Structure 1
């Protein structure tokens, strides 16, 4: 018996092995702020990996999550220990709620110093474990190689999500030996169980007034447009959740916008009269099922999700635990074989919704443009006219940036993308995530629509983006602070005129000083929007960060939100 044995790879320390692994996996960008030891910088120095050296670990987590959502591949956030892990916690929360494959690589207290009140000692694994798919500490050099491989596999497998891998400080200068090639487990997309798929298909086939609801789990799983093919074949009204935006083409004739809280008023009749909801890759969280923008009680919901833990048990109807892309392909084939014909009346009703909604929004935008003051509706209309086909809008979830959630105030057309916060709506996520999105899609125009409160959370990392020439356009809707909370407090004051004006969530408008390398303009009038957008987009195309500050009034909110009068789930302000 003969053969060859692989030559051993010997690394001077753990972080050199980490960098070699990341290079092998094709990781080209890492976000973070390293521990005091700085050994990882020595390892990164001669690699081809770009290191975005953040000033705030929370922004690092947000940027890496944005990168993961846009690319579909695991993104890396590198941090130190102790408070670094508490700072990144919100980013891990957002990645978990957004199903983003985030890998946090952290420093940890040396084995021989644990329990000795060592500098920045903290049980970080216990802290991160509730939010991560897997949290693990590496204490021995022999465990590093398999642990790295496992971390990346778990982050991407099934329902993607964050993992946390801690490397003890004493491994920084401890030799690590690899005796075999790096092991790469390809992401697998499980096909449906035949019996479960048949049961669900029976319900789908029998429906005459179906609604097809697309969630974030369909992101990167609708490459050939099979979801739109299924909607056309079924004659189904096509909706998405907020996190599902960008997964389908919203210019499709049957696309009716978002479900739940953000559903357009023209679509209420469809939700009232549907006989089946088909939910693909959605957790059916509260904002996606709220109010008249979701089916009435008793209407069955067919759910398809890659992980059983992602299914909602709040609704009746069959479920399929499988990759949504595989199930849609299966159903498209069954649809052809069944010769099922759509209900023409339902198709006509669904097709009329986007037409009527666009007419309303066009009128709203024209009225806003004629008002003189810069209004959000006019800003979105001018932006839509100027952006190239392949762009990505990154959003926050506050009072005025929620304008863009109300299709067709904003429409994700063709290959255009959309990145939104999860139902956790972490303050500042969109502002920071936009940088990760841009680095994941460098050839695309990336615009972040954010409130001034969220933009302020970016802090010193704005200078980092300018230094690294991450050409993002920030449209900052400046209402002087946290407009959502202020608007809700104002409604309470109207109910109780004796309450007074003791609590204020807003202050005089103005963003303060920005780095000199950042292009900045203030849009004072509606007439100036177009020209300022043109200049800003030109700066971004040259790799410069651009900030357009748009003063807006607290009263400039979508009618859909204002009419709810606070009777819906609390949403963090931006």
Structure 2
């Protein structure tokens, strides 16, 4: 839509909807206030409004949509408890770098402090968890506030913005006297001296490791990170939120870093002389030993925001876009040969192949055991889904099998959406709906526990009504398996407190438009294949798989032993 030079609007919400249309926004998530003015503004447009039953779900869906699409997502809410409900979603969006704008209702200026209905200091509550929070009271300030909100959300390190329209603006005319300034994402190139310093570090390294974080999502479409690794003879690792940023089938890819590092990669981390961290805050799970470099190893960090550079590590710092930095390095290294130690490159390729061999051996082992094991669930899921697929993950107990490469791998045409370091329960289960709407040509499977799946609540009906075909693989351990495992590990297995119930048996009633419970391996492939077909046709499909608490990745068990 081409913006006009000027326009008048019946309300701030009508102005906001016009901006959304001009910006190319096609989908909005939310649950508006009971004045319903946002819906009246949307009614004559072709913007899709996914009406959620819970504002928490709307925020998670919007964050999922932003992570997959790379575009700013929009969430529309009311005031008071509605604003409180989106806090968790905003925290996830902030920590995962999801560009998102929450448009909210607010108490009128004249009624503040009077005990007005649902009056709450929403600015004080939400300001700490967003990049920018702003309240608009006067119609003359609506247009610039909308423009700034979307500019801030998409630029720098992407993240959420909160914009509140007071009730005074529900019927106040808003005039725009110039064309909209439409949002554009700016990707600043690092300055020359910083690039020269970082190039010197790359040239001097003989045993380099590339660590790709969530900040590189949508910044590596042409595979330049893989080319840099080939040029340097470097191992490629990702953080959890960095999954999907590189081709995990590449022979130099070695899995996740830190807590989720496969055991075959530990010698690489012990031997590296330089870690190149692209778009990562280097949070605790990404730097957990032994799946990360030891003290004294230089870490070359590239980040858009100075505040997101970790001060825990020595080494050069580059402020700027990770994609631009990698392009500059490739140009600077164009005339040089591979400076890596040849034995290092061989070790990297060996790590990749030995990890695959260990997983294949584990699958053969569990195939001889009774019952269904999660390693084989992932194997069958890999078989039944098409190459263009997205796995949306949680971070509980059994669902963490998918974190340990290569039990699950994201190839060149695949993607993976993973919760941020905050790991809000239910984020993946709900965000999968937004992911599917952002990628309608991909199969979307959510790999979740039963506790996380329960967070969908009434919004499962929203997916059904909207025809959002997500395939849910629900690992049913009877509740919150991670907490129960911690309770058992602490010797309190006989405690009067329990986080789980007995796993469901076949035939238990479960919600879902297409539903199956699989408790033996005979029907596993058949049921997952059928469910995948149902979801491809736009139908929500839910496959429940009873699992045992002790069915956890060996890598995770060993890490916990070292941590305890």
1:60-71 to 2 correspondences below 5 Å: 60-71=58-69
Give 1:507's match in structure 2, choosing from 484, 490, 501.
501
Q: Relative to 1, partners in 2 of residues 1:7 and 1:198: Cα closer, same or farther, differing over 3 Å? A: closer
Secondary structure, counterpart of 2:429 in structure 1: helix
1:213-232 to 2 correspondences below 5 Å: 213-232=211-230
Task: Count the aligned residue pairs.
Answer: 560
Cα distance between partner residues in 2 of 1:492 and 1:169? 52
1:256-405 to 2 correspondences below 5 Å: 256-405=254-403
Equivalence for 2:122: 124
Q: Relative to 1, partners in 2 of residues 1:37 and 1:478: Cα closer, same or farther, differing over 3 Å? A: same
Moved more, 79-88 or 501-510: 501-510
Report how far residue 133 of structure 1 moved: 0.5
Contact 1:396 1:449 (8 Å CA) reproduced: yes
Cα distance between partner residues in 1 of 2:396 and 2:420? 13
Secondary structure, counterpart of 1:278 in structure 2: strand
Equivalence for 2:472: 474
Cα distance between partner residues in 1 of 2:88 and 2:65? 16
Cα distance between partner residues in 1 of 2:6 and 2:357? 67
Cα distance between partner residues in 2 of 1:526 and 1:430? 26
1:51-90 to 2 correspondences below 5 Å: 51-90=49-88
Report how far residue 272 of structure 1 moved: 0.6
Cα distance between partner residues in 2 of 1:513 and 1:460? 16
Q: Could you list the per-position Cα deviations for residues 115-163 of structure 1 after superposition, in whole angstroms to 9, with x for gaps in the alignment?
A: 1110000110111101110000010111111100100000000100100
Secondary structure, counterpart of 1:293 in structure 2: coil
Secondary structure, counterpart of 1:283 in structure 2: coil
Please, what TM-score do these two structures have when normalized by structure 2?
Answer: 0.97
Contact 1:132 1:162 (8 Å CA) reproduced: yes
Report how far residue 82 of structure 1 moved: 0.2
Equivalence for 1:542: 537
Cα distance between partner residues in 2 of 1:566 and 1:54? 42
Equivalence for 2:490: 492
Report how far residue 335 of structure 1 moved: 1.3
Equivalence for 1:3: none
Equivalence for 2:554: 559
- Unaligned residue ranges in structure 2 (runs of 5+): none
Cα distance between partner residues in 2 of 1:412 and 1:80? 38
Contact 1:452 1:477 (8 Å CA) reproduced: yes
Q: Could you list the per-position Cα deviations for residues 493-517 of structure 1 after superposition, in whole angstroms to 9, with x for gaps in the alignment?
A: 17xxxx833111101334975556x
Report how far residue 367 of structure 1 moved: 2.1
Contact 1:488 1:566 (8 Å CA) reproduced: no
Secondary structure, counterpart of 1:557 in structure 2: coil
Contact 1:205 1:340 (8 Å CA) reproduced: no
Q: Could you list the per-position Cα deviations for residues 341-396 of structure 1 after superposition, in whole angstroms to 9, with x for gaps in the alignment?
A: 43211010000011111111011112223323111000001111222111110000
Equivalence for 2:148: 150
Cα distance between partner residues in 1 of 2:504 and 2:369? 22
Cα distance between partner residues in 2 of 1:19 and 1:167? 13
Please, what TM-score do these two structures have when normalized by structure 1?
Answer: 0.95
Cα distance between partner residues in 1 of 2:432 and 2:35? 29
Cα distance between partner residues in 1 of 2:459 and 2:503? 21
Equivalence for 1:530: 525
Contact 1:75 1:103 (8 Å CA) reproduced: yes
Equivalence for 1:572: none
Equivalence for 2:8: 10
Secondary structure, counterpart of 2:300 in structure 1: strand
Contact 2:203 2:339 (8 Å CA) reproduced: no
1:104 aligns with 2:102: yes
Cα distance between partner residues in 2 of 1:509 and 1:167? 47
- Unaligned residue ranges in structure 1 (runs of 5+): 1-5, 570-574
Q: Relative to 1, partners in 2 of residues 1:14 and 1:513: Cα closer, same or farther, differing over 3 Å? A: farther
Q: What's the RMSD between the two structures over aligned residues?
A: 1.5
Cα distance between partner residues in 2 of 1:144 and 1:552? 52
Q: Relative to 1, partners in 2 of residues 1:17 and 1:62: Cα closer, same or farther, differing over 3 Å? A: same
Q: Could you list the per-position Cα deviations for residues 190-235 of structure 1 after superposition, in whole angstroms to 9, with x for gaps in the alignment?
A: 1111101111110111000000110001100001100000000000
Contact 2:469 2:536 (8 Å CA) reproduced: yes
Cα distance between partner residues in 2 of 1:145 and 1:152? 11
Q: Relative to 1, partners in 2 of residues 1:513 and 1:76: Cα closer, same or farther, differing over 3 Å? A: farther
Q: Could you list the per-position Cα deviations for residues 546-571 of structure 1 after superposition, in whole angstroms to 9, with x for gaps in the alignment?
A: 000010000100011122346549xx
1:197 aligns with 2:225: no
Cα distance between partner residues in 1 of 2:436 and 2:307? 31
Secondary structure, counterpart of 2:128 in structure 1: coil
1:28 aligns with 2:26: yes
Cα distance between partner residues in 1 of 2:291 and 2:558? 14
Cα distance between partner residues in 1 of 2:21 and 2:503? 45
Contact 1:290 1:568 (8 Å CA) reproduced: no
